A = this chain, B = another copy of it.
Amino acid sequence: MKYTHHNNELNIKNIGQEVYLKGWAAKVRNLGGLIFIDLRDRFGLTQLVVKPENPFYDIALKIRNEFVLEAQGKVIERENKNKNINTGEIEVEVSKLTILNTAENPPIIVSDDTDALEDTRLKYRYLDLRRPVMQNFLIKRHQITQAIRSVLVDEGFYELETPILGKSTPEGARDYLVPSRIFPGTFYALPQSPQIYKQLFMVAGMEKYFQVARCFRDEDLRADRQPEFTQIDIEQSFVDQEDIIPLVEKVLVKTFKKVLNVDVPQPFARMSYQKALELYGSDKPDMRYEMLISDYTYLNQIELPLFNGKDAIRGITLENGSTITRKRIDQLALLVKKNHGEALAYIKYSENQYTGSVAKFLSEEQLNSLKLKENNMLFIVPGQFSNVSSALGALRIELANEFKMIQDQVYKFLWVVDWPLLEYNEEENSFSAMHHPFTSPVDAEVLRNNPKDAMAKAYDIVLNGYEIGGGSIRIHNQEVQRLMFDTLGLTEADITNRFGFFVDALKYGTPPHGGLALGLDRVVMLMTGTTNIKDVVAFPKTQSAKDMMMQAPSDVDQKQLDELNIKVGK
């Protein structure tokens, strides 16, 4: 490279040096004849100065924002120093200036602050990504990916690729399909995860596998979902949970140190699934703040119909919550109902007085048993345990945000362990897998005889209230795998059609194995402090899975459809 420096490098020590720079004109100012150009590259800014007597002055006059430039010159000390940037003490007096390309006035402002609407930013993504704040998201993503990879490679894992053109095995989410031209009427499916492939690598004796794997789900998107996403997919043989958990901790601890210079203490906290629901009303508790759920089910003895005979009565106490308004409480009650809660009751304790919707129905002894302190507000939700939990879990998050209990740049990891294997659907009298049908039961006999009680060798890793990864020890015994499919209601024909080759594979000497998948997009989102998953994806899609820049999906030629032997329409 003929260029001598990046635009973040020059400082007072370089004064007098001849340098050769390149970049974009981030800002051009003409101050009393002197032309100042902030030259930007992916590393930073350097100020160029061109005096009227300079033979390149006429060229400098033509320069507009976002022109692409090449400049030679001498580093000199700046009169008005800018302490906010690395190069703020110097400027470069230009001796040669070349316009490499011109630029029309860009439709969005290329700086960290932009007032452009999201649709405009997505349409002109190549300009949106030119903003330093956006470049930083992608650079961090790169660094995080490399850091994770380097730990896994050092641990002896092989990075192996699995197909994108796979087979449709419809369960869970909807598959993206790809029509086959050679076998008309048949389809490939894009993988929802490389789960089966990675288990086959274990059957194949590869022992330690990982992949930065693209996964696809044709689901209606939520704010933190994309139709295609990336997971760090890990699998290892001859292991149990106590091998995978420390491995993943090592990956995360080293990555946080390397990329953010943050020391995360090890081992990470652990909590059972049941405990997480009881205390946090969530299977992915945010551990950055307390406000735990307490049990008041003993109040189901009182006359009040709202409480009487209820399965569970539970609540959270908001410190300094006594000032919360009646109107706000009504809004919170709506939130509780949206999250399956029957109702929201509350008791306020202030100046030695208990007030609130249900205070008068409780005896003094009962009120004292609540252990409220001055200015506490207790929110209570009665009903079925699981509904109460989810309602209080949502309420807890809402209040924590509202009352600013959440510290920035604090990283609280948690392993959620001891999961049930199955979820029971009362209406349909059917089971579904809590994780996926390849998760090993703790005890296959319990699965056989009493599936509702079967526990799983599964573990989720949670960071700041987000599930960033899930894993399990897998079933490696063919009979247990069949029992699992059977319990899930798959017929023999279903098993053969969808998973025949996989069940077959298990019988030729499959080692015990397990693993985990980390959601890379979420990890990057949390490590960069953004709440918008689109910020950490180079070319994201909208919530209707549309690429605003390319205008995909799009019409295709009839010839293409004819070749694939498909047509549009029901």
Contacts and interface: CB of A to CB of B under 8 A. Distances in A.
A264 interface: no
Interface string A57-71: 000000000111010
Interface in A353-383: none
Can you tell how many copies of this chain the complex includes?
2
A230 interface: yes
A102 B479 CA distance: 12
A68 B507 CA distance: 11
Contacts of A163: 228, 539, 541, 547
Given A180-B553, A553-B186, A142 B168 contact: no
Interface stretch (A198-206, A267-275, A387-395): A198-206
Contacts of A189: 552, 556
Interface stretch (A291-299, A320-328, A420-428, A509-517): A509-517
A101 interface: yes
Interface stretch (A127-135, A255-263, A281-289): A127-135
A205 to B, nearest CB: 5
A497 to B, nearest CB: 8
A290 interface: no
A534 interface: no
Interface string A442-461: 00000000000000000000
B159 A42 contact: no
Contact of A207 (B41, B128, B565): B41
B206 A135 contact: yes
Given A177-B178, A177-B179, A551-B167, A160 B138 contact: yes
A474 interface: no
A501 B551 contact: yes
A567 B565 contact: no
A403 interface: no
Contact of A101 (B165, B181, B510, B550): B510
Interface string A162-180: 1111111010001111111
Interface in A13-28: 22, 24-25
A544 B165 CA distance: 13
A511 B100 contact: yes
Contacts of A162: 538-539
A168 B562 contact: no
Contacts of A205: 24, 40-42, 129-130, 135
B181 A174 contact: yes
B556 A177 contact: yes
A505 B550 CA distance: 11
A245 B191 CA distance: 36
Most buried by B among A3, A214, A556: A556
A562 B557 contact: no
A517 B475 CA distance: 40
Nearest to A180: B553
A508 to B, nearest CB: 5
Contacts of A3: 238
A285 B537 CA distance: 41
15 contacts: A40-B205, A42-B206, A101-B510, A103-B509, A126-B508, A127-B508, A146-B153, A167-B552, A174-B181, A176-B188, A179-B553, A185-B555, A188-B553, A566-B568, A567-B567
Given A182-B544, A186-B555, 19 more contacts: A22-B238, A22-B511, A41-B207, A67-B509, A68-B511, A101-B509, A103-B509, A127-B508, A130-B205, A138-B160, A164-B216, A165-B547, A166-B550, A170-B557, A183-B553, A189-B556, A565-B569, A565-B570, A566-B567
